[in-house]
């Protein structure tokens, strides 16, 4: 377990594949300048599953948008395979927290969307889409409309769609947040399965500690605003993460440790909110 922000990758000698370097993001609000992300650096090795966890207001959604390329105005650099990128990039696939399937397309057309954009002919793109639909366990649902599916199934469609673009890095922003606990667990398992099969480099943004420990190789813990890397935790638990692993003491220790970190940050956040409210009331 590391206490220092880790810049060189998981173990000495492994090339970082994605490198997030000294990201600083400021927003101008009505009350002045707000620093959402303050000098955040970390890296993800090829095939690694890394989670980014932090209290509300730590800037993790901002980081999601920056790494994904939806925000291009920031200080610092993002490198993929050594090359610097800024703005949306085909190498980075994004899965959003909200409902993001196209309601006017059926499952097959939804998943085939990135291939359609790239100009892949119909027959081929439908075949490739079917492969990913099977991968997320929705085989047989190709002709269904999203309105006929449950929330969890729709998120699976969104994941399949992003994977269909064959991105080098899969970036997910709390994709299971809108789902109930059971669906969450099952979907988490599914995503892990897929990630292991494809050896997909994955960065997951979440606020759920158990989920993060269950799925990740490493966890980056963020501070409350302005967001910095508080600590990076190596999750050296064996794979596959069976229920035996999940109920082990080692697992519990990781969870407790991160919980302590987050509690510290979350209470700072609450004190901050209270101070703001009190200040507002006095005005």
Please select the residue that binds other proteins; options are 2, 102, 180, 271, rule is CB under 8 A. 102
- Which one of 100, 183, 193, 196 is in contact with other proteins (CB under 8 A)? 100
Cis peptide before 209 (omega within 30 of 0): no
Q: Is 27 in the site for other proteins (CB under 8 A)?
A: no
Q: Residue 113 or residue 251: which is nearer to other proteins going by CB? A: 113
- Rounded to a whole number of angstroms, the minimum distance from the CB of residue 217 to other proteins is 24
Q: Which of 8, 34, 70, 277 binds other proteins (CB under 8 A)?
A: 70
Our finding on whether 93 is near other proteins (CB under 8 A) is yes
CB of 124 to other proteins, least distance (A): 17
Question: Which of the stretches 41-49, 82-90, 210-218, 257-265 binds other proteins when contact is defined by CB under 8 A?
Answer: 82-90
Residue 146 binds other proteins, judged by CB under 8 A:
no
Q: Which of 21, 76, 81, 145 binds other proteins (CB under 8 A)?
A: 145
Among 15, 99, 236, 273, binds other proteins (CB under 8 A): 99
Report the residue from 21, 38, 39, 116 that binds other proteins according to the rule CB under 8 A.
116
Which residues of this protein are in contact with other proteins, per CB under 8 A?
68-70, 88-90, 92-94, 96, 98-100, 102-105, 113-114, 116-117, 145, 147, 162, 165
């Amino acid at each position: 377990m590391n206490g220092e922000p880790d810049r060189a990758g998981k173990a000495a000698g492994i090339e970082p594949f994605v490198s997030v370097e000294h990201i600083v993001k400021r927003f101008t609000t009505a009350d002045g300048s707000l620093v959402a992300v303050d000098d955040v650096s970390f890296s993800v090795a090829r095939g690694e599953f890394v989670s980014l966890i932090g209290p509300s207001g730590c800037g993790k959604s901002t980081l999601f948008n920056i790494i994904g390329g939806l925000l291009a105005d920031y200080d610092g650099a993002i490198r993929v395979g050594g090359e610097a990128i800024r703005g949306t990039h085909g190498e980075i696939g994004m899965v959003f927290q909200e409902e993001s399937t196209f309601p006017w397309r059926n499952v097959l057309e939804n998943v085939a969307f990135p291939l359609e954009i790239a100009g892949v002919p119909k027959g081929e793109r439908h075949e490739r889409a079917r492969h990913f639909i099977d991968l997320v366990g929705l085989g047989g649902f190709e002709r269904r409309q999203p309105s006929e599916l449950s929330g969890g199934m729709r998120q699976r469609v969104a994941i399949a769609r992003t994977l269909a673009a064959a991105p080098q890095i899969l970036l997910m922003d709390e994709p299971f947040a809108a789902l109930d606990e059971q669906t969450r667990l099952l979907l988490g398992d599914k995503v892990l399965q897929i990630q292991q099969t494809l050896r997909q480099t994955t960065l997951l943004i979440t606020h759920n500690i158990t989920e993060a420990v269950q799925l990740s190789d490493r966890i980056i813990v963020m501070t409350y605003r302005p967001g910095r890397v508080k600590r990076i935790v190596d999750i050296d638990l064996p794979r596959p993460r069976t229920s035996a692993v999940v109920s082990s003491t080692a697992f519990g220790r990781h969870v407790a440790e991160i919980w302590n970190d987050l509690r510290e940050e979350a209470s700072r956040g609450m004190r901050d909110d209270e101070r703001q409210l009190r200040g507002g009331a006095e005005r």
